[in-house]
Amino acid sequence: MQIANAAFTSELLYRTPPGSPQLAVLKSSKMKHPVVPVHNSLERQMESNSCENGSLNMEINGDGEVLMKNKSSLYLKSAEIDCGISSKEKTEDNTTGEGMKEDGEDPDNDLAPPRSDSSSCRPESLWKDDKEIIPTFFSTMNTSFSDIELVEDSGIPTEAFLASCYAVVPVLDKLGPTVFAPVKMDLVGNIKKVNQKYVTNKEEFSTLQKIVLHEVEAGVAQVRNSATEALLWLKRGLKFLKGFLTEVKNGEKDIQTALNNAYGKTLRQHHGWVVRGVFALALRAAPSYEDFVAALTIKEGDHQKEAFSIGMQRDLSLYLPAMEKQLAILDTLYEVHGLESDEVV
């Protein structure tokens, strides 16, 4: 413990994966768990190698942070709706979107929401009908499930899906960067396994369905560490996150209860008594509702405003249905080919 404390600073705990906005962190004074950073070779390799051959496009900004190049986000959608002004009301010089920069032009500002020449549409807050609109973690993600456009036969684009998965990982950091580290490692590890398959032939494996069907035909779909097995556990992990966020959206103010309900409906049936015990222990260190929502703000203190609660409802109402639709497509795929497993870990 002494060596670890001397080697690492506490700020390492709050680093979030690429593709997510800079967020307020949980107040350590209210968290009772240790502040020893949890880093493993998998996460370090994930960041340094940029998911092998860069299929999840990343770059390094001036501050040394890894950033996603894909800047499509819920915030852009909100800005287009809330800040869009018809040409009849404004001259062409003031139309929204003129001030936006192309991807890659300004890497130091890659995480910032789209900018506009209109003074009423600021990154910190927007205004519509005299009501403040506050951005949240989900509206400022660089890539999101709601941005994914399905291709022919409900095909889910592999690269966009994996980028969206990676962008939601920081939610686990907000629940507790130490106690939820095993869950985060599992999620990131499965993303990496699917990506390793994808980069071997990006054209052939352009959709998740193509990857699964290729391994089914090759007879390796249910082999340990296959991309199909990794995707199976990845979708299970995403269902847990979706269930938790749905509980919060529906008004559950007790984070432990929300997590326990989501776990009971999703991952619990696939875990043995040892893993269940680990999760039960992690629940005890879950933050309060106030600390959790505070960690999802872009500007410190926004969570105390009524507009932030409205914004969370708005953003989750876009995010969760899109996530659920894609998970349902994968469920059908696995059921049709008998790929679901009752194995307990």
Q: What is the pLDDT of residues 251-273, one digit of tens each?
A: 999 999 999 999 889 988 888 88
Of the candidates 306, 209, 39, the residue with the CA atom closest to the CA atom of residue 47: 39
Q: What is the pLDDT of residues 153-171, one digit of tens each?
A: 899 999 999 999 999 999 9
Which has the minimum average pLDDT: 22-26, 137-141, 307-311? Answer: 22-26
List the structure tokens of 44: 């370090």
Q: What is the pTM of this model?
A: 0.65
Q: What is the pLDDT of residues 279-295, one digit of tens each?
A: 888 888 889 999 999 99
Of the candidates 321, 143, 147, the residue with the CA atom closest to the CA atom of residue 249: 321
**Which of the pair, 116 or 341, is modelled with greater confidence?**
341
Q: What is the pLDDT of residues 12-24, one digit of tens each?
A: 444 545 554 554 4
Residue pair 96/116 in contact (Cβ under 8 Å)? The answer is yes
How would you label 215-235 residue by residue, b for 16+ Cβ within 10 Å and e otherwise? bbeeeebbeeebbbbbbbbbb
Say whether pLDDT at 82 is over 60: no
With tokens 């350590």, the residue in question is 28
Residue pair 339/221 in contact (Cβ under 8 Å)? The answer is yes
